[in-house]
Structure formats: C-alpha cells, structure tokens
Structure 1
C-alpha cells in the first residue's frame, strides 16, 4: 500500500487543479443568460462584488486548505523534516476539515438551484474537485495509519 500513496497524492493534486479552474456548474438565468463559473472565478466574483469575507472563507476552505493538506502529505511521505511525526499530526488536524470544501461548493450549487431565478447543473470542475478531496482523504488515511501502526 505504501507505493500507492504517492500516486494518490499526484492524482489528487492533478484533479484539484482541474477542479479549481474548470467550470463547477452551468447556471442558466431566464433561459437567455448562461454562466459557467469555476471555483476561482466564483471567489473572484465574490471579492469584486463586495463580499470579501465570504470570498476569504471560500478561498480558505476550498483552495488554501486542500493545497496545504496535499503539501503536508507530500512532506510526510518524502520525510523531508527530521521529525515526520509532526507532519503526520498536521495531516490529522487538516483531515478533520477535509470534506468541508466539498460541502461548501455543494451549498453554492444548492443555493443557485433553489433561488428560483436560475437552474444550476454540475459541470466537470465539481467532479474533479470532489475526486481530489476523496483521493487526498484516502492518501492521508494511509499515511496517518501507517504512522500509527
């Protein structure tokens, strides 16, 4: 199982990049107007429209936290630091928040669907983002439990 962890982390990083940049959803308004925002586009739009606090929260939990988790997991498997135990403990803390990013994106889509003014359909970016979260959760599970065992 140890040799699969680097592959899982690589795939999680690759799919996260797609998840952040590809359209998350197709939003149709009044049958005439369509938007295909990416997660980074949504954050930028929130910031531009004056919702800086919400933009920061979405960026923190949907961009910074997943990237940090993947980086810490990479450091743990590469054993760069003299004490990899601290890396493993950090992974444990970050893993507690790992699916919040997917929940946050799902809430954005739910909000668009239930507003009544628009229809929202999931696009590939959402699937890549979700796959990344799952792959990183599996990889970090193997890292943490290898350390415990």
Structure 2
C-alpha cells in the first residue's frame, strides 16, 4: 500500500507530461503517392477540422481527445491529494471516463490501418501516438490505485 502512495504522483506526473506531448507531437506520418508527406498532431487535426468546416467533428474530437483526458487527470490529481470532493467525483465518473480513455488511440490505429490497406497512402505511427497511449494507460493505472487506496482507507 505504501508503494502505491509513492507511485500515484509519479504515474500522474508522467501521464500529464505524456498527454501534453501526445497532443502536440505528430501522431502519424502519412505519405501519399510518395510525394506528399503529412505529420499531423492531434491539435493540428482538430484545427484542420475546424478550419475545414467540420465544426461538429472538431468539437467531438476536442471533447474526447483533449477535454476529457485533461479533466480526468485534473480530478485524479486532486483525488490523489486527498481532496474529498475530487475523490467522490472520481469514484462517480471513473467508469465513464475510463471507457473513453483509449478511444483516440483506437481511432488513430484505424486510420493507419485504413491508409495501409487502401494502397493510396502509407501511414506510420509517430511518437505522439505512443505518448498519447502512455498517458491513457498511466492515468488509468493511477486512478485504479487511487480508488483502491480510498476503499482501503474507508474500510479501516
């Protein structure tokens, strides 16, 4: 139990740092016809959707890719610091937020798969995807430890 108290802040710090890198670094390299290369980041993709007129899609991607992960990490940080309101909020929303944690990673993986199988373009995962995935996994582990800690403290 003492080890998790030490690990929770480390996991949350690395998850927060990884999320920042995952949002700003290129997610994938897309090459079309061997002449045109693109290296979009998640923030760049959202901006391109917005300026391209796909406002609803930009808002949905922003919600699930940026706002929910940041919100989950913020609530987890507060719960790790033993804020009672944040702990209750984390318990209430952890199931809902955790279900959407890996959605973006899955979508990018599907885009890479589609590009590779279509023959029109080649797509290769870039560091932004790995940082984004690491953030989702580490925040899930940290929130699991926080919930377990809260349960253990309420039983004693």
TM-score scaled by length of structure 1: 0.90
Aligned counterpart for 2:26 among listed residues 23, 38, 48: 23
Structure 2 CA distance for aligned equivalents of residues 26 and 112 of structure 1: 11
Q: Is 1:147 the equivalent of 2:150?
A: yes
Structure 2 CA distance for aligned equivalents of residues 82 and 138 of structure 1: 20
Partner of 2:75: 72
Q: Cα deviations across residues 31-75 of structure 1 (Å, max 9, x unaligned)? A: 111111101111111111122121111111111111111001011
Partner of 1:133: 136
Aligned counterpart for 1:58 among listed residues 52, 56, 61: 61
The structure with more radius of gyration: 2
Q: Is 1:11 the equivalent of 2:14?
A: yes
For the 8 Å contact 1:5–1:143, the answer to whether it is kept is yes
Shift of 1:76: 0.5
- Runs of 5+ consecutive residues of structure 2 not aligned to the other structure: none
Shift of 1:82: 5.4
Where 1:40 maps in the other structure, the secondary structure is helix
Distance verdict in 2 for CA 1:80–1:4, change over 3 Å: same
For the 8 Å contact 1:23–1:124, the answer to whether it is kept is yes
Shift of 1:105: 2.6
Q: Calculate the aligned-residue CA RMSD, in Å.
A: 1.7
Q: Is 1:101 the equivalent of 2:100?
A: no
Shift of 1:83: 6.9
How many correspondences in the alignment? 149
